[in-house]
Amino acid sequence: MKKILITGGAGFIGSHVVRLFVTKYPNYQIINLDKLTYAGNLNNLKDIEKKSNYTFVKGDITDAGFINELFNLHTFDGVVHLAAESHVDRSISNPLEFVMTNVIGTVNLLNAAKTSWLTPSPLGRAGEGAHRFYHVSTDEVYGTLGETGMFTETTAYDPHSPYSASKASSDHFVRAYHDTYGLNAVISNCSNNYGSHHFPEKLIPLSIHNIKNNKAIPIYGKGENVRDWLWVEDHARAIDTIYHQAKTGTTYNIGGHNEWTNIDLIQVLCKIMDKKLNREEGESAKLITFVKDRAGHDLRYAIDSSKLQKELGWVPSLQFEEGLEKTVDWYLENEEWLNNVTSGDYLKYYEQQYTKR
Ligand code: NAD
Ligand code: DAU
């Protein structure tokens, strides 16, 4: 039985990856390691938590001693690393936390994998090549595009926010461990995800939450920034494909060819919400409020995922409007989940954010 460590499995994307691996591979033992920060939530995995091939471990990837012990306790066959601080706005207020988790945390995992998998033994180097380290990264490492062009795997790194700088740094470390020590490493850089279990600090779930509660929908600047949105379950499927099929040392971009300006996206979302909440058409859009722009706000992201499509045969499955409607339905049907994550510290954080504006 293969043992796979998935980090950050209680978060948004991680929970979809854990669910996919646990259900698709009953012969794998999946260990989900998560610190359960504000963004991690075990309710995200209620439906699979009792499966015999699933184990949850609470722990912090910045704690090197703990990570080394975990790798001593289990002989992992592979790691799918998603644990991270992931919100750009929070990185602007607290960059050091992003360096700790995203850079130091990643290097701790790389060191433990190197010791566990590549230390010479009388039988030779334990498992060089056999054990895979998969780093889940972002398109934000490439910086920003103008009105045309797309990010490819060879686009030069040019991060602008503390978040993207920390992810770029962790990508460089993963490549360095491949090039220097022969670690079997792969990286993927994905565009903006949307879908169920998305923490309501990001544009789509925050807007759904605010529309439902008749609160302002904050749009940064003029709403002209462009993001390329991908259904989260398509991202999880791409991770599965790359984990199993990519050659060591390779990188793949993942994206849905689905660019939207923020304002156009929110207009579509408002229409769906009007319909679902039996409001008059145009009612939800009255909540749109233009606020001060994000510092260093990247203008446009667009991913060229043709390498993944041609080499490994992955294609996105859902049209955006269909996915957005499914997402809205999920939030409206899971009021308890939303109420849970929007109580306590969440409220304090948002009160501070709004006072600043
Ligand atoms: P998220 O914020 O929803 O989840 C992050 C998870 O990591 C949480 O469960 C949290 O508890 C855990 N975590 C944080 N710090 C930890 C630590 N020190 N030790 C152990 N666990 C810790 O993030 P997400 O949106 O699901 O993103 C997951 C990964 O995918 C990240 O690496 C992110 O950079 C990347 N990514 C995200 C997107 C997106 O659109 N959300 C797109 C591309 C790439
Ligand atoms: O591109 C991949 C990245 O996508 C991931 O690496 C990040 O982890 C993920 O958070 C996401 O980053 P963004 O900054 O693009 O996502 P966010 O939902 O925060 O913002 C999307 C766009 O909407 C962006 O242009 C900023 C804008 N925005 C965001 C919020 C939260 C608003 O206009 N108002 C808001 O309240």
Query: Do 126 and 118 touch, CB atoms closer than 8 A?
Result: yes
CATH superfamily of this structure's domain 2-194+229-254: NAD(P)-binding Rossmann-like Domain (3.40.50.720)
- Report how far ligand 1's centroid is from the alpha carbon of 84 (Å): 4
Interval 263-278: pLDDT, tens: 999 999 999 999 999 9
Band the pLDDT of 351: cuts 50, 70, 90.
Answer: low
Given the residues 34, 85, 139, 298, the one annotated as active site? 139
> What residues line ligand 1, using a CB cutoff of 6 Å?
7-8, 10-14, 34-37, 39-40, 60-62, 82-86, 101, 105, 136, 138, 167, 190, 192-193, 199
Interval 200-230: pLDDT, tens: 999 999 999 999 999 999 999 999 999 999 9
Query: Do 85 and 60 touch, CB atoms closer than 8 A?
Result: no
Q: From the CB of 170, is ligand 2 less than 6 Å away?
A: no
Q: From the CB of 139, is ligand 2 less than 6 Å away?
A: yes
Give, in order, the Cα–Cα distances in Å from 9 to each of 93, 272, 304, 309.
Answer: 25, 30, 27, 26
Could you confirm whether 140 is annotated as catalytic? yes
Residue of 5, 7, 12 with the most ligand 1 atoms within 8 Å of its CB, for mutation: 12
Interval 77-96: pLDDT, tens: 999 999 999 999 999 999 99
Identity of the amino acid at 78: G
203 by Cβ neighbours in 10 Å (0-12 / 13-18 / 19+) ranks as buried
Sorted by where each begins, the domain ranges of the chain are 2-194+229-254, 203-226+260-295+320-356
Give the CATH class of 203-226+260-295+320-356. Answer: alpha beta
Instruction: Say whether pTM exceeds 0.95.
Output: yes
Could you confirm whether 60 is annotated as catalytic? no
Could you confirm whether 321 is annotated as catalytic? no
Interval 13-62: pLDDT, tens: 999 999 999 999 999 999 999 999 999 999 999 999 999 999 999 999 99
Query: Do 235 and 136 touch, CB atoms closer than 8 A?
Result: no
Q: How far apart are CA 346 and CA 201, in angstroms?
A: 9
